[in-house]
Amino acid sequence: MVMYAPGMLKNRNYDFPDKGLRYHFLGGGNEVGNVGCLLDDDKENRILLDYGIAPTDPPKYPLPSPSVKHSIITHSHIDHLGMAPWLCANHRTKLHGTSITANISELMWNDCYKVSKIEGYPLPWDKRDIDTSIHSWEIHNFNESWMQNDWKLTLQNAGHIPGASMLSVKTDHGKVLFTGDFDSRDSMLVEGAKPEKTDVLFIEGTYGGRNHPNQEEERRRFCEEIVRISDRGGTALIPAFANGRTQDIVMMLHKYLPELNVHVDGMGKRIARIYMDHQDDLKDPNLLQSSWKWSKQVSSKSDRKKALNADCIVSTSGMLDGGPSIWYLNRLKEDRRNAIFFTGYQAKGSGGRSLLETQSIPIWKQKVPINLDVKQFSFSTHAGHDEIVQFSSDCDAEKIVIYHSDPTHSRPPLVAALEKNGHQVDTPENGKFGNLFY
Ligand SMILES: [Zn+2]
Ligand SMILES: [Zn+2]
């Protein structure tokens, strides 16, 4: 049972700092996801960067935010905006973000609400609060600065998913850059993030200590495996996250295996349409459009049955935690010619992790053995260890704050590498203050 006490900070004296800038992670300081970071200064400027939940089982929530008028939402993944409805309803907070992020937010909140009902966990916000949040957006384009009191704020491409932003904050004391979730490498959907000079860099360290396989080689391995399954008359089920991964995979299949018969199911279909309405934010809008025309979107029960004869089915949920991918798995599992190819990380407690570790999966609360080929591929759009270190060096940052990172496994190797390069490194903890320019 998740306990959450909104208003917990009501009586707490939450003053501004006496000197310089101060940061305070409500969540995401020493963990992946669940991000909420307050930044304020001695001139009573204050913003909240992101306010998410961690969609673990049970979910985790950041600490309750004190009153804040402006929150910058870097992108539309639930671990960065899942708690925004609470914020808007309780503090009348204005949300700032790109148009794609704002347009996808409603889908993400509705989905989060639905999942909370199905799984029976409490959410600290209500359906009405989604309406309030939808009307709380203020849209900003990349590279168009605005003044938030004394601070000059700018969103820049973060290279993670379409619309995902880094936030640059220029203050009288110095400049701060938050990467949000970022990748300096190009993906099928977006160009990589570009570094720029900053005094302080808040960098996500999800992949500290780990490097990604070479993108080209991973793509080749994936395509070869799919061809192998198709040649033996099987169907490859490709569970993929709706927001970013589904579209990346369909574009990849269209580009490298155009002769295949690919069906797409789940929330990724609606998200793709939103991406296509924002052509300027995509690396190659024509490729997304042509990939979408080429693939078959499942939109009815009979479509779903037809998809069982396809070469590939790309579908949510990406971790086999419900959604159409479970429906497909339940039917594909009887024929050994079929296969399951994961396209990303499988969290502890997820159906995907259970399949990888025990060759079985809970379906309708029963443990069902799965005797199919199961393989995992890495198509992450988070920077790997080497990219994080290179990006930090290219930003020429004096001080680096590593957040969105596992404090036991990922952060220590990153701290060592960054200190070796001469950066001063902060390792924040949720609920504790950190000082800058004091
Ligand atoms: Zn994240
Ligand atoms: Zn993300």
Hey, what domains does the chain have and what are their CATH numbers?
A: 21-210+385-436 (3.60.15.10), 215-376 (3.40.50.10890)
How far is the centre of ligand 2, averaged over its atoms, from the C-alpha of 164 (Å)? 8
Ligand nearest to the CA of 33: 1
Separation of CA 140 from chain center? 20
Q: How many CB atoms lie within 10 A of CB 156?
A: 18
Predicted pLDDT of residue 1:
30
In contact, 86 and 112? CB cutoff 8 Å? no
pLDDT of residue 2: 39
Mean pLDDT, the chain, rounded, equals 95
The pLDDT value given to residue 13: 63
pLDDT for the residue numbered 203: 98
Is the pTM higher than 0.75?
Answer: yes
Say how many Å lie between the CA of residue 53 and the centre of ligand 1. 10
**What percentage of the chain carries pLDDT values higher than 70?**
97
Ligand closest in space to the Cα of 75: 2
Ligand 1 centroid to 35 CA: how many Å? 7
Q: Describe the strand order of the beta sheet including 151-157 as a list of residue ranges.
A: 146-148, 151-157, 165-170, 175-178, 200-204, 399-403, 424-426
CA of residue 313 to ligand 2 center, whole Å: 23
The tokens 């020493």 sit on which residue? 30
333: CA distance to ligand 2 center in Å? 31
196: Cβ contacts below 8 Å, ≥ 6 apart: 156, 168, 177, 395
Cα of 155 to ligand 2 centre, how many Å? 16
CB 234 within 8 A of CB 226: no
Residues near ligand 1 ion, CB 5 Å cutoff: 33, 79, 181
Q: pLDDT, tens digit, for every residue of 93-148?
A: 999 999 999 999 999 999 999 989 988 888 999 999 999 999 999 999 999 999 99
CA of 371 to the centre of ligand 2 (A): 32
**Burial class for 332, CB neighbours closer than 10 Å (0-12, 13-18, 19+):** buried
Look at residue 11 in the predicted model and tell me its pLDDT: 42
What pLDDT is stored for residue 366 in this prediction?
85
Kindly give the distance from the C-alpha atom of residue 9 to the centroid of ligand 2, in angstroms, as a whole number: 28
Distance in Å, CA 24 to ligand 1 centroid: 18
CA atoms within 13 A on the CB side of 290: 9
Q: How many A from CA of 121 to the centre of ligand 2?
A: 22
* pLDDT the model gives residue 3: 42
- Judge whether residue 9 has pLDDT over 60: no
Per-residue pLDDT at 339: 98
C-alpha pair distances (Å), 5 with each of 9, 121, 125, 126, 133: 9, 15, 11, 15, 20
What digits encode the pLDDT tens for the residues 47-103?
Answer: 999 999 998 777 899 999 999 999 999 999 999 999 999 999 999 999 999 999 999
Q: How do residues 268-277 score in pLDDT, each as one tens digit? A: 999 999 999 9
Which of 108, 113, 106 has its CA nearest to residue 77? Answer: 108
